[in-house]
Structure 1
C-alpha cells in the first residue's frame, strides 16, 4: 500500500456531458399516478421541471470550477481510493477539523461553510475560531468510488479517517458530520480518543427502538415525543429505501447508473422528505444548482450502487448502544431532524446540546450560518 497523496483536479470529459444531455433529451417518462403528488413518490410534473432546468440552464463547468477552487487530493487507505478536499486556513492557530458527509449527500454539502470556517475574519467572525478543513468523500461515493471491497463499516471508515489525518500531519483534530457522518464522527473519537479534541454532529447518533414503551414516553418532553413520532413514521413509511440499498444495491444500481432522471428522482425523494418545512419543495429550500451538483457527483463516476452499498450495508441493530469514547461531544438538533438527548448520552459525553427552531436533515445546505455558529461555539472551549 502506498501512503502517497496525489493532487486531484476534476476534469470531466465533454463527451460525458454530451452523453448526459442526450440521455436527458431521450428520457422515457412514466405516466403520473393519480394526484401526481409526493405521497406516491416524486411527482412527475415537479421532476420534469427540474430536468428541464438541468438540460437547459444548469452549468456543470461552473460547478466544476467552484469545486476546483479548493485543493483536492486522492490517496489509498486500506485498499480504497479516497478523495478529499484539504482547505487550510490563513490563520496560523487554526484547528484541524474533519467533515464527513452522508447519503444522499457528498462533499458538495459543505461548499457554503468552507469559507466561514477556514477564514472567519473574512466572513465577519473571530479569527480565533478558524479551522483547517479536511473533507473526504466516503468510500464508494463520488471520486472515492467505486468501492473496492466489502466491510466498510462506520468504524472502518473512522479508522481510515484517522490514518488520513495522520498522513496530513494532524496529531490533534476535531470531527464533525451529519447523517452517515454523524455515525462516523463519534467512531473517529472511539478510534483515537487521545487525538480527537471533540466531536460535533448535526442530528442524533443513537436512537430508540420503536415503539417506545408508554412509561418511558410519558417522561419525555413534547420535542422528544415529536422525534419519537417521526422515527416511527420513518420506520413505517420511509424505510423501504434502506431495505433495498442494504440488501439489493447491485440490482438498484443498474437503473440509477443508466438513467440520470431515475437517479435524480431517487435522491430528490429524500431531500423532499428530510428538508424543512416539509410541504415546501426541496429546490425552494436548497439552491437548484447545489442539488444538481450533488446529484452529478453520483452520476459522473457511476457510483449510486457503491454509495448505497457502503451507506447502508452496515451490521448492527437499530438502537444498539456503542461504547462512550469520553471525547467531548456537541449536538445540533435542527427542527425537522431527529435527535433525543437521553439516548445520545448513553454512548457519548455530551457537553453541548442545541435545539434549533428551524432546519431539517441537511444542516450545511439548509442552515449553513446556524451550523457554522454552532461548530465555532462548540470547539471554542476545546481549543
Structure 2
C-alpha cells in the first residue's frame, strides 16, 4: 500500500498456489530428530504428535477453505507510523442503543486469528442469544510484525508504541472514545492505551496482569503476592526458555523457524498446548484445522522472526513505565487454564480494578478457546461504560 493510496483499503489476501506447493514440499522433506522412548511432551513438543500434524498439514489440510472463511471478516489495510497495518473492522449489527467501539489486541503466538471466532458474537449479540443492546463496533489490528501487517525494517516496536498506533487507528475510523481489551502482549498494549490516552479510553479489560515487576519494598507484599512471585519464578525456570530466546537472541531461532515449517509447528504448538485449558490434549482446545490455520498464517506471512522481536523491544521498557498506575476503570477475567494468574492484591497495586472474575473454562487464548464465555465477559464488563463513549 503506497502513501498515495486511500487511507483505508479493503484487504482479502489470495495465496499463490506455488507458495502452498513449496510449503508442502518442505513438510514432506522434514528431517526428524530422534526422541527418547515415551518422552511425550516432557522435553518439549511430542514428536509422535508432531509427525501426525505435519503429515496432515502436507496432504490433508485445506488452506484455501480456511483463507476463504477468514475473508468473511471485513478486513482492511492502512498506513500508521510508516507501516502498513492490517485490521478487522466489523460494525455492530442493528444496534438498539449507542454502540461502544472496542479495539482488541492479540498476543503471541497468534494474530487477528485469536479473535476470529468472537467478532460475530460481539457485533451481533442478538443473533447469539444475548442482548442486542450489548453490540460493539469491533476493531482487531495485527500488530506490526504479526499476521498481515508490515514487518518493521528498523528497531521493533514495543507495546507503548503499538498503543499509540492503535489510538491513531481509532481516530482514523472516527472513534473519539472507545474501550480496549486484550491478552498476553495485547494486555500490555491495552494498558498503555489507558495510560497514554485516558481521555479516550473509557474502560480496559484484560485477561492477565503480565509478568510482575516489583519496584517497591518486597516487605509490603501480601502472603498471596509472595506465593505468586514464587510461582512465577518456578514457571520461568521450567517454561520460560522461549521468552529468554525471544528477548535476547530472536534472530538465531528465526533462521530455523523461518526455513522449516515443522520447526515452526513445534515452536508454536507446544505453547498452544501448555497455555490452553486442554488438560494436556491440545486438540481439546483447538481443532487440527484451527492449529494449522494459525501456523499457515505465520508461514505465509513470514512473521515468526518479527513477532519474536517484539519481546526484545518490550524487555527494554523502563521499570518506571511498568509501574505507572492505570486510573481508567479496569476489569480482569482470569481464566483457569491461563498461565501466572495474579492475585487481586497485585492487580490493585498499579490498576484501578473495578471487576475481577474467574470464568469456569478457558486458558491463555480464551477468545478462541471459549468465545461465548469471553464475549459474555466483555459484555458484562463494558455495559456500565457504554454511555461514556458517546459523551
Identify the TM-score tier after normalising by the shorter chain.
over 0.9
Cα separation, 1, equivalents of 2:204 and 2:91:
20
Cα separation, 1, equivalents of 2:232 and 2:318:
15
Pairing 1:331-342 to 2, within 5 Å after superposition = 331-337=332-338, 338-342=341-345
Any stretches of 5+ residues in structure 2 without a counterpart?
387-391
Distance 1:225 1:365, change over 3 A: farther
Pairing 1:141-290 to 2, within 5 Å after superposition = 141-205=146-210, 207=212, 216=221, 218=223, 220=224, 227-228=228-229, 230-277=231-278, 279-290=279-290
TM-score, normalised with respect to structure 2: 0.90
Cα separation, 1, equivalents of 2:143 and 2:196:
17
Between 294-303 and 319-328, report the one with greater CA deviation.
319-328
Distance 1:375 1:225, change over 3 A: farther
State the Cα distance separating 1:372 from its structure 2 match: 0.7
Deviations 1:37-90 (A, max 9, x none): 211110110111111221232211111111111111111111222111111112
Which residue in the other structure is 1:40 paired with?
A: 43
State the Cα distance separating 1:9 from its structure 2 match: 0.8
Deviations 1:68-115 (A, max 9, x none): 111111111112221111111123432110011000111111111111
- The alignment covers a number of residue pairs equal to 377
Deviations 1:275-321 (A, max 9, x none): 124x4221222222111111111100111100100244311367974
Provide the aligned C-alpha RMSD in A.
Answer: 2.2
Cα separation, 2, equivalents of 1:308 and 1:288:
24
Cα separation, 1, equivalents of 2:21 and 2:358:
46
* Aligned residues of 1:335 and 1:357 also touching (Cα < 8 A): yes
Which residue in the other structure is 2:330 paired with?
A: 329
Deviations 1:220-256 (A, max 9, x none): 2xxx677545422221112211111111111211111
1:69 aligns with 2:72: yes
* Aligned residues of 1:247 and 1:313 also touching (Cα < 8 A): no
Which residue in the other structure is 1:298 paired with?
A: 298
User: 2:359 aligned to 337, 356, 361, which one?
Assistant: 356
Which residue in the other structure is 2:83 paired with?
A: 80
1:18 aligns with 2:34: no
Between 1-10 and 117-126, report the one with greater CA deviation.
1-10
Cα separation, 1, equivalents of 2:254 and 2:322:
32
TM-score, normalised with respect to structure 1: 0.92
* Aligned residues of 1:24 and 1:260 also touching (Cα < 8 A): yes
Distance 1:260 1:155, change over 3 A: same
